[in-house]
Amino acid sequence: MIDTTGELLALGLFASLCGTLMLGFPVAFTLAGTSLLFAAIGYLLGHFDPAFFLSLAPRYFGVMTSETLVAVPLFVFMGFVLERSRIAEELLQTLGVLFGNLRGGLGYAVVLVGAVLAASTGVVGAVVVTMSLISLPTMLRAGYDPKLATGIICASATLAQIIPPSTVLVFVADILQGVNQAAQLRLGNQAPEPVSVGDLFAGAFLPGFVLVALLLLWVAFHALVDPASCPPLALPDAERWALRRRVVVALVFPSLLIVSVLGSILAGIATATESASLGASGALLFAALRGRLSLGLVREASLRTALTTSMIFVILLGASVFSLVFRGLGGEALVEESLRAMPGGRIGAMAVFMAVMFVLGFFLDTFEIVFVMVPIFGPPLLVMGCDPLWLGVMIGLNLQTSFLTPPFGATLFYMRSAAPPAIPTGTLWRGVVVPVALQLLTLLLVWLFPALATWLPKVVFG
């Protein structure tokens, strides 16, 4: 009789982890504490070898000293500095008024500003709060349907999750790098091609702007079918044309920042870390040129960056403990056997992975999902023949959807904190139904046409 105690403990560990996280316990301590408890049970039952923990310190030290991951605090710092420099406020005010004479004009402006900010900050929380505080009152005063207004803002803000530079994509690329090397060695390939942050940034570029186009079409559809939900903003033509200079000035710095950060990566001039350094320096320079650079601004941005980065890496430590225990209990082999047994082979296995990630996105944070799910499902999917670059972009799109999906999408909590009490939470949830559907459509398009994710990296990096 086959002893399945280890596999049952691995399943119990995963189920217990999801349950305790949904109860609201601190993520990092839940990941590590639950894993240690099941490791102790497995050891007592003779199904876990404590020697697995010997690799924890070298593994985590390798993460903490990774040059690639230095880009994370730098991109976070850049985002916070730009938030305090009021770049979003200036863009929204100028573009909003410029397009305001069109039905849905404010909606177009919010989507375009969301794309620009996504490509120049990569920090979702900063973007959604800033855009909510600035654009939501204006849209409501103009007579926009609250459901449509909040949906546009939330969807536009989450573009920072997929449009480079994205802090989530940095971690996905770093984890996939190690996972792909292990998978290729299992397949007998002694020199696997690296999955760099630059590759993933380039791969996410086209899908991100496909999503921007779909959001603009959604606003246009509302303007055509239900014009009362997105009325034009009355403004004399003379005053509107006078805004052209302000629009140009407001767009100059974000455009330069995007070109310097993404352009340096795609041109092969700089690594992701070097481009992040350039972006952080550029953000400080912009604040100085606008007369807004101060010791207080730098201090606040540094503290918020330290808090955000510390939270992420503490969660990563807990996730590392979980991965080791899950593997030690035989969970990784169980997952691979289960995926191989799925109808449809690789397609069925990928569908299960995407479905599990999407459901977990209802309850767990993006980084929690990345740190837990990718090391578990990544190796078998890559061994089964999935392109690592395509897989990384699919993960990014799925995680962006989870960031927006009710009831626990983080974007909704950010919006709830910034929206007036008169807008009920149910309105926020209904407002993101269509954006979630559009994100799922983008995910499907990338699934059916993998070249959307793989063509640009091959062109740029050969």
The mean pLDDT value of the chain amounts to 81
CA-based nearest residue to 414, from 214, 119, 136, 165: 136
How far apart CA 382 and CA 193 sit, in angstroms, is 13
How far apart CA 356 and CA 29 sit, in angstroms, is 23
Q: What's residue 3's pLDDT? A: 59
Would you tell me how many other CB atoms lie within 10 Å of the CB of residue 29? 13
Which residues in 435-447 are b (16+ Cβ under 10 Å) and which e? Answer: bbebbbebbeebb
- Residue 88: pLDDT band (50, 70, 90) is low
User: Residue range 186-204: average pLDDT?
Assistant: 76
Q: Is 420 exposed, middle or buried (0-12, 13-18, 19+ CB in 10 A)?
A: exposed
How far apart CA 333 and CA 2 sit, in angstroms, is 15
CA-based nearest residue to 97, from 51, 135, 54: 135
- Residue 1: pLDDT band (50, 70, 90) is very low
Task: Please give the structure tokens belonging to residue 118.
Answer: 């996504």
pLDDT tens-digit readout, 334-373: 887 888 888 878 888 899 889 888 887 776 777 778 888 8
Q: What percent of the chain has pLDDT over 70?
A: 88
pLDDT tens-digit readout, 389-442: 999 999 989 888 877 877 667 777 777 777 778 888 788 888 888 998 999 999
Which amino acid, 42? G
- Per-residue pLDDT at 305 exceeds 70: yes
CA-based nearest residue to 155, from 222, 93, 101, 90: 222
Q: What's residue 328's pLDDT? A: 84
Q: Let me know: does 393 contact 116? Beta carbons within 8 Å.
A: no
DSSP, collapsed to helix, strand or coil, labels residue 147 as helix
Q: Which conformational region is residue 233 in: left (phi greater than 0), alpha (psi within -120 to 50 degrees), or beta?
A: beta
3-state DSSP of 353-409: HHHHHHHHCCCCCHHHHHHHHHHHHHHHHHHCCCCHHHHHHHHHHHHHHHHHCCCCC
Q: Is 274 exposed, middle or buried (0-12, 13-18, 19+ CB in 10 A)?
A: middle
Q: Let me know: does 389 contact 378? Beta carbons within 8 Å.
A: no
* Choice among 106-120, 316-330, 376-390 with the minimum mean pLDDT: 106-120
- Per-residue pLDDT at 230 exceeds 80: yes
How far apart CA 460 and CA 462 sit, in angstroms, is 6
DSSP 8-state code for residue 145: -
Tell me the whole-structure pTM to 2 decimals: 0.83
Q: What's residue 235's pLDDT? A: 61
3-state DSSP of 77-99: HHHHHHHHCCHHHHHHHHHHHHC
Task: Please give the structure tokens belonging to residue 201.
Answer: 């940034």
CA-based nearest residue to 416, from 125, 206, 176: 125
- Strands (DSSP E) along 200-275, which ranges? none
